[in-house]
Amino acid sequence: MSRGLAVASGASRGGRLPRQGTSADALPEAGFEQWPEDVDFGPLADLIGYALRRAQIAIYQDFFATVGELGFTPQLFAALVLIERNPSLNQTRLGRIMGVNRAAAMAFIDRLEDMKLVAREASKSDRRSNAVVLTKLGRERLSMLVQAVREHDARASQNLTASEVSTLRRLLRKF
């Protein structure tokens, strides 16, 4: 029952840094078409899950198009914020909050540690656990990132009025 759940992350997930690569053949690829009018979506048009997925594809695109060049995925950004605001979280709990298991949490904490943005500190209360905390560099980068991500999020929501945005946020949280 609990296995395979983090699938969701993978799913909502995804989240990979765009690669380099420049060749004549590669350029005109992709180009997501958002709800094209000449396509019949059939039962998909009625499913909240599908609308959620398409909205997420769109916002991920904007994330990478705007703050992607800073070298962060939405996941890494979220991890940094959670670590900053909750320095007492251990690795396993951090993973559970983010929808991945211990091993996957290890992977992204390793990565943030390699980037010198976070550090593991031995917990005194439970010697099995590590607390994960931001470094000074991590705090600096994060404050810049937060600003950029807020701008991205506002731009992504620009087709909605302020009250629609807050309705949307409320309904998504009730989910």
Partner DNA sequence: TATTGTTATACTCTATAACTATA
Partner DNA sequence: TATAGTTATAGAGTATAACAATA
Footprint on residues 106-145 left by a copy of itself (CB under 8 A): none
134 bridge partner residues: 118
Among 5, 70, 137, 144, binds a copy of itself (CB under 8 A): 5
How many CB atoms neighbour CB 2 within 10 A? 6
Closer to DNA by Cβ: residue 75 or 145: 75
Cα(98)–Cα(144) distance, integer angstroms: 22
- Structural tokens at position 37: 């009018």
Near a copy of itself by CB under 8 A, which window of 23-31, 111-119, 121-129, 133-141?
Answer: 23-31
- Minimum distance between the CB of residue 145 and DNA, rounded to whole angstroms? 15
- Binding status of residue 96 toward a copy of itself by CB under 8 A: yes
Residue 162 binding result from DNA, a copy of itself, none, given CB thresholds of 5 to 8 Å by partner type:
none
Residue 130 binding result from DNA, a copy of itself, none, given CB thresholds of 5 to 8 Å by partner type:
DNA
Residues near DNA (CB under 7 A): 2-7, 9-10, 13-26, 28-30, 73, 75, 90-93, 99-104, 106-109, 111, 120, 126-130
Which backbone phi and psi does 174 adopt, to 5 degrees?
-70, -15
- Structural tokens at position 170: 């409320």
- Minimum distance between the CB of residue 42 and DNA, rounded to whole angstroms? 20
Cα(81)–Cα(67) distance, integer angstroms: 15
DSSP letter for 26, please. T
Three-state helix/strand/coil letters over 115-126 = CCCEEEEECCCC
Stretch 41-80 residues interacting with a copy of itself (CB under 8 A):
41-44, 46-61, 63-65, 68, 74, 78
Residue 157 binding result from DNA, a copy of itself, none, given CB thresholds of 5 to 8 Å by partner type:
a copy of itself
- Minimum distance between the CB of residue 167 and DNA, rounded to whole angstroms? 28
Q: In Å, how far from its chain's centre is CA 17?
A: 12
Which residues, other chains included, contact 42 with Cβ-Cβ below 8 Å and sequence gap of 6+?
Answer: none
